A and B are shown apart, each in its own frame.
Chain A
Amino acid sequence: MQALVIVAHGSHLNPDSAAPTYAHADTIRATGAFDVVQTGFWKEEPSLREVLRTVGAEEVYVVPLFISEGYFTEQVIPRELRLEGWDVSAWDSDGLSASTATLPAADTGQTIHYCGPVGTHPAMTDVIIQRAESVTGDSDVGQGAGLAVVGHGTDRNANSAKAIEYHAERIRARERFDEVQALYMDEEPEVDDVTEFFETEDIVVVPLFIADGFHTQEDIPEDMGLTDDYRDGYPVPARVDGHRIYYSGAVGTEPLMAEVILERAADAGAEVGSARADVTAAAGATVRGD
Chain B
Amino acid sequence: MLMKWLLAAVLAGSTVSVWAVDDANKVVTDALRKLAPTSKIQSVTQAAVPGFYAVVADGHPVFVSTDGKYLIEGHVYDIAARRDLMDDGLTGVRKQALAKIPAEKRLTFAPQNPKYRVTVFTDVDCPYCKQFHQQIAEYNKFGIAVDYVLFPLVIHPGADKKAVTVWCSKDRNAAYTEAMNGQALASKTCDNPVSELSDIALAMGVNGTPAIFSVDGTQLGGYLPPQQLAQRLDELAAPAKATTAK
Q: Tell whether A and B belong to one assembly.
A: no
